[in-house]
Structure 1
Amino acid sequence: MSHQCEHEHHDHSPPPVTNSTQSLYEHINFLQVVCLNAVAKGSDNQSACVFKTQDEKYNVSRYLESDADCQMIIHVPFTGTCKLFSIVLRCNRTDGGYSSPKTIKLYKNFNKNVDFDTLSESKDDHHFENPQDIGIGVGIETDVLDDSTFVEHHLPRHIFQNCYSLTLFIQDNWTADEDDLTCCFYLELRGEYTGERASNDAIPLMTVYESAPNPVDHQKLEYEHENMELGM
């Protein structure tokens, strides 16, 4: 179904409520998670900087920070197929060389090279805007016990079924200055694990490598308020 049809037949009813028991944390293939243009802060393990257990979700000592500019790619493979319901993010506020991430594009089961050039030239399966200045400041050393600093983005469920991987592309920021860096403190994927492991024949061979990020595209995308919730 095209994005045009989705908007023409958009359902304005509230999205189904999710909860932390629907976290797909235990079904992520952490050994194959790849983060591009990202520097691990507080840990040598990039995936551990953003994927945290419910007991650690308020921890801000570990996070990912973009490197050359504001853009960042997080490629998340699963141990089997899943249905995705929502994404919970905790990012940075705009302050002192950092800017809140704005446009985030999602690619389901992306079967091409995962790099900035290829993703920029490929049609996303869904995109949304992260709200401006909802998040936390960079450099805080103690846990931040504030649920309002998390944002849950509900996904169109008819699109994100039979997922064996999800690729997130943080494309730009709210200051429209590509030199302002991006931080991601927490990323949670909620949904349902189907228990069906994808066969080797079903998973295309794919290379993942670093590439120089493209210039930030500042085109404003439609912001669907009903698909975004503050807090947990």
Structure 2
Amino acid sequence: MPHEHNDGCGHESHDHDHDHDAAVLGYQDNLFQHIDRPNVVALNANGDAAEIIKPWHLRLDEAKYIESDADDQLIIRVPFTGTVRLKAILLKAGPSGHTPASISLFPNEPTLDFDDIQDRKSTQEVVVPQNREVGEYAVKTAKFTNISSITLFVPASQGEDTSRIYYLGFLGTWTESKTQPVITVYETQANLADHEKIQGMDGTWSAPGH
């Protein structure tokens, strides 16, 4: 989708590597190289969650994706290798009714699952249009500063029985952690018998870019 992007360096701490292959990063504030991909986890999902965290030049590839399993809900946990000031989320989903209706964002809550996410108020929600291109969704950066992980919750698809995501990326700035990170072993499989579809989502989602 068309958008303007300023990749000039400002006064903030930046993780820019100006010699890095632009085909991999795309934007110089793409956080691809700062995502802890081996520990990316998706709950109620078929497919390897790490495989939707793709280099920029593979963003339109549809060979690898994750799709919800027992119903149309998904939780994706994404840890970073340092501290991040997040600016935007990049997403390619679909097709059609398999597109998430919306995505709820939870920074710094790396252990959220279906049992407790209904008791949490998300920091931001974005509406996802049916579009086979990569969409860029700006976040309220002040609320996504100094984060070490982000959890994304898909409460429903746009009509089909499952939700599907092909590509997930992040734009922002990265700072190396000053302390040794705590290594957390995440569950690799959700117990679908314990997964009950969350009801009562009020539908008051923010529009992309607001």
TM-score, with structure 2 as normaliser: 0.78
The residue number in structure 2 matching 1:104 is: 103
2:192 is equivalent to residue 185 of structure 1: no
Which amino acid is 1:27 matched to? H
- From 73, 76, 80, the counterpart of 1:74: 76
Distance 1:198 1:206, change over 3 A: farther
Which residue does the alignment assign to 2:131? Answer: 134
The structure 1 segments of at least 4 consecutive aligned residues displaced by more than 6 Å after TM superposition are none
Rounded Cα–Cα distance in structure 1 between residues aligned with 2:208 and 2:78: 25
Distance 1:204 1:31, change over 3 A: closer
2-structure distance, mates of 1:31, 1:150: 23
Cα deviation 1:115-158 (Å, max 9, x = unaligned): 11111221211112112x222xxxxxxxxxxxxx1111100010
Retained in 2: the 8 A contact 1:129–1:221?
A: no
Cross-structure match for 1:139? none
Aligned residues: 186
Superposed displacement of residue 18, structure 1: 5.8
TM-score of the pair, normalised by structure 1: 0.71
For 1:21, what is the secondary structure of its paired residue?
coil
Tell me the residue number matched to 2:121: 123
Counterpart of 1:210 in structure 2 is 190
Residue 39 (1) aligns with residue 46 (2): yes
Amino acid at match of 1:127: E
User: Secondary structure at 2:98's aligned position in 1?
Assistant: coil
Which stretches in structure 2 are left out of the alignment for 5+ residues?
Answer: 8-26
Q: CA RMSD in A?
A: 2.5
**Structure 1 residue ranges without an equivalent (≥5):** 1-14, 136-148
- Report sequence identity in percent: 26
